Amino acid sequence: MQTTFVILKPGTVQRGLIGEVISRFEKKGLQLVGMKMQQLTPEILTEHYSHLRSKPFFQTILSSMMAAPVVLCCWRGMEAVNVVRSMCGATNCREALPGTIRGDFGISIQENVVHTSDSPENAIAEVARFFKPEELFEYSLANQPFLYASDEIN
Ligand code: ADP
């Protein structure tokens, strides 16, 4: 099982789409193992988006990500990183396929509804960056026998 990290961006909070987005992950069969609301700071965003530091749009990402509080969440499931990434769709909402979260709820490159971890290594780093160990929950999912075949998970 993997745990992946998702940010519901300020635009998602402002547009009243929190429930819609979370509902998709729940319906998929992912297990919510951590969730909180937070006002992001330049410090944490500079670390989180360090790979984009040289980009001309870096400052606008920072201000857009601080425009309102965000919802941070962690989702657990088999291959959760790739599953969530493909559910979110391409970075540019105009290119994201219909049926994906960005394809259905956005029309911008930057205001693209969600952030999601792009690799298992980054998921581990991002969960640790935004969540304290005591904010993550280990519990058995009552419907797990109906989500996976008995020989599919160990
Ligand atoms: P992703 O969020 O899909 O992993 P990146 O890590 O490449 O994509 O970019 C991080 C965020 O920076 C994107 O989600 C988006 O908000 C913003 N961004 C990426 N590319 C551009 C761009 N060309 N113009 C404006 N904003 C961008």
- Can you give the pLDDT of all 154 residues of the chain as single tens digits? 999 999 999 999 999 999 999 999 999 999 999 999 999 999 999 999 999 999 999 999 999 999 999 999 999 999 999 999 999 999 999 999 999 999 999 999 999 999 999 999 999 999 999 999 999 999 999 999 999 999 998 6
* Span from the CA of 110 to the centroid of ligand 1 (angstroms): 6
Per-residue model confidence (pLDDT) at position 154 = 66
Residue nearest to atom 2 of ligand 1 (CA): 115
State the catalytic residues: 115
Q: Please give the number of the atom of ligand 1 that sits closest to the Cα of 9.
A: 16
**Candidate of 112, 116, 126 to mutate for ligand 1, largest count of ligand atoms within 8 Å of Cβ:** 112
Task: Please give the pLDDT value at position 153.
Answer: 83
Q: Which residues pair with 8 in a beta bridge?
A: 71, 114
- pLDDT number for residue 89: 98
Q: Which residues of 82-103 are buried (b: 16+ CB within 10 A; e: fewer)?
A: ebbbebbbeeebeebeeebbbb
Per DSSP, the residues of 56-121 read TTHHHHHHHHTSS-EEEEEEEETTHHHHHHHHH--SSTTTSPBTBHHHHH---SSS-SEEE-SSHH
Ligand 1, residues at Cβ distance < 6 Å? 52, 57, 61, 91, 109-110, 112, 115, 118
User: What pLDDT score does 87 carry?
Assistant: 98
Q: Are 45 and 61 in contact (CB under 8 A)?
A: yes
